[in-house]
Amino acid sequence: MGLDGPHWVAKLFPPHFTVLDLLEGPRIAGPTPLGPSPPLQLASEKEAWERSRRVQGLYRTALREVQLREGQNRRERLLEMIVREGEVKEADLNDEGHSDAASSRPQGEKEEEKEERCIWNPQDLCTLRKAVRELELDRRRLRVELKQARAEAEKQREARRQLQGLLDEREEQLGRVKRAATRQALHLDALCAEGHRRDVQLEVQATEAKDRGEEARAAGTRLRKAEEVAQAVRRENADLAWELERLRGQQGEEGRRQAQAAQVECEAALWGLRREAETARAELEAERQSHTRSRAALELLRKHFSSQSPRDTKVSGTDRISYI
């Protein structure tokens, strides 16, 4: 047994728990994937549980790698043991052949010595060599696969480191998102209060709209009645217009008759006025002639009085004044 093999104490007393069981701890401490976390759990406990879960994932990955490496080492040790046994047996067979050619012992003694030193026949040796070659090919193939697995594991470690960086970044973003969600929750509460106030306003406006609808229906009823009255008024106006046209026709006819009668009366009155005017002209002409004669007589009197003496003029003036 090599130094890499398990200890005899581990074989006699195999452990009943692993580091994974120690990391997992009691199942009640953290939230399980099947159920939500307790409502009163602190943020620090949640972070500790998340950290423990990440460590568990890392340990599981490392445990799988260690188990794969141990299985590979066990297979390699088994192959080395089989190869060493085959080489030893082949060397023993070669030594036996050389000793048979060099020695001069009897054939019976050689066969007995060969049977004592070799426990496998030639067919078993051929089968063993074939199995050893197959195991050597498997060992080489497994080495290539191990190299590829190690390269893949290195890639996975690099990807894990990148994912860890992304996880830290996402956790930071999650913290920012939680803070933004808190602010949004406060904003949502304010919006809910505003929405409640708007709902109350909408109810008031709906009541007012209902009242206005009732008023509009009443106004529509009044409007229909007013339209009916307007139609009756229009019909009455049409009747009155027809009656007015008829009366206008009658009035026009009566006006024409009255105009003709007035024209006849005017012509008669004009003829009378013309006669009166002619009479007045004749009287005026006679009065004008009388006035002319009076002025001529007065002129003669003036001349007569101017030709008399002053005394006579005084007396005649006194008489004139007395006369006047």
- Digit-coded pLDDT (tens) for 244-265: 888 888 888 887 888 888 888 8
97 lies in a domain?
yes
User: Over 50: is that where the pLDDT of 235 sits?
Assistant: yes
Q: What is the pLDDT of residues 108-157, one digit of tens each?
A: 444 554 444 555 567 767 777 777 788 788 878 888 888 888 888 888 88
Average pLDDT, the chain: 75
122 lies in a domain?
yes
Q: Both tokens of residue 221?
A: 């009823």
115 lies in a domain?
yes
User: Over 50: is that where the pLDDT of 36 sits?
Assistant: no
pLDDT reported for residue 244? 86
Q: What is the pLDDT of residues 62-101, one digit of tens each?
A: 778 877 888 788 777 777 777 776 666 666 656 655 555 4
**Do residues 118 and 89 lie in contact, with contact meaning Cβ atoms separated by under 8 Å?**
yes
264 lies in a domain?
no
Separation of alpha carbons 145 and 140, rounded Å: 9
Separation of alpha carbons 323 and 320, rounded Å: 5
Separation of alpha carbons 27 and 109, rounded Å: 74
> For the whole model, what pTM was predicted?
0.24
Q: Residues 220-225: what's their mean pLDDT? A: 89
Separation of alpha carbons 131 and 78, rounded Å: 13
Q: What is the pLDDT of residues 282-321, one digit of tens each?
A: 899 999 899 899 999 999 888 888 887 555 554 454 444 4
Q: Both tokens of residue 44?
A: 């620090």
pLDDT reported for residue 149? 83
Separation of alpha carbons 308 and 320, rounded Å: 14
Q: Both tokens of residue 277?
A: 């005017």
**Do residues 90 and 124 lie in contact, with contact meaning Cβ atoms separated by under 8 Å?**
no
34 lies in a domain?
yes
**Do residues 72 and 138 lie in contact, with contact meaning Cβ atoms separated by under 8 Å?**
no
Q: Which domain holds residue 106?
A: 8-180
Higher pLDDT, residue 16 or 240: 240
Higher pLDDT, residue 43 or 181: 181
User: Over 80: is that where the pLDDT of 35 sits?
Assistant: no
* Rg, Å, the chain Cα set: 76
Contacts of 76 (CB under 8 A, 6+ apart): 139, 142
* Residue whose pair of structure tokens reads 């406006």 in the numeric block: 205
Provide the number of structural domains found in the chain: 1
pLDDT reported for residue 292? 92
102 lies in a domain?
yes
**CA distances (Å), origin 118, targets 80, 86, 93:** 21, 12, 8
**Do residues 313 and 305 lie in contact, with contact meaning Cβ atoms separated by under 8 Å?**
yes
CA torsion angle 174 175 176 181 (round to 10): 80
221 lies in a domain?
no
User: Over 50: is that where the pLDDT of 213 sits?
Assistant: yes
Contacts of 41 (CB under 8 A, 6+ apart): 31
pLDDT reported for residue 26? 45
Q: Which of 17-21, 65-69, 184-188, 200-204 has the lowest mean pLDDT?
A: 17-21
pLDDT reported for residue 324? 40
Q: Residues 220-232: what's their mean pLDDT? A: 89
64 lies in a domain?
yes
Q: What is the pLDDT of residues 262-288, one digit of tens each?
A: 888 888 888 888 888 888 888 999 998
**Do residues 149 and 68 lie in contact, with contact meaning Cβ atoms separated by under 8 Å?**
yes
* Residue whose pair of structure tokens reads 């406990």 in the numeric block: 45
User: Over 60: is that where the pLDDT of 25 sits?
Assistant: no
Separation of alpha carbons 300 and 306, rounded Å: 10
